[in-house]
Structure 1
Amino acid sequence: MGVQLTVRPGRGCTVLEVRGELDMATSPQLREGLRRLVDGGDRQVVVDLAEVGFMDSSALGALVVNFKALREVGGRLCLAAVQPAVRSVLTVTSVDRAIQVYDTVQAAEAAVPPTDDTAAR
Structure 2
Amino acid sequence: MSLSVRPGRGCTVLEVSGELDMATSPQVREGLQRLLDAGDRQVVVDLAGVGFMDSSALGMLVVMFKALREVGGRLSLASAQPAVQSVLTVTSVDRVIRVYDSAQAAEADVVDDSTDR
Aligned to 1:7: 5
2:79 paired with 1:81: yes
Q: Equivalent of 2:34, from 36, 54, 67?
A: 36
User: Percent identity over the alignment?
Assistant: 80
Q: Equivalent of 1:107, from 101, 105, 115?
A: 105
In structure 2, the residue corresponding to 1:66 is in which secondary structure? helix
Q: Which structure has the bigger radius of gyration?
A: 1
For 1:91 and 1:10, the matched residues in 2 are separated by: 26
Provide the aligned length of Structure 1 versus Structure 2: 114
Aligned to 2:54: 56
In structure 2, the residue corresponding to 1:99 is in which secondary structure? coil
TM-score by length of 1: 0.91
TM-score by length of 2: 0.94
- The answer for unaligned runs of 5 or more in structure 1 is none
Determine which structure has the larger strand proportion and give its number: 2
The CA RMSD over aligned residues, in Å, is 1.1
Which amino acid in the other structure matches residue 97 of structure 1? R
Q: Which runs of 4+ in 1 moved over 4 A?
A: none
- The answer for unaligned runs of 5 or more in structure 2 is none
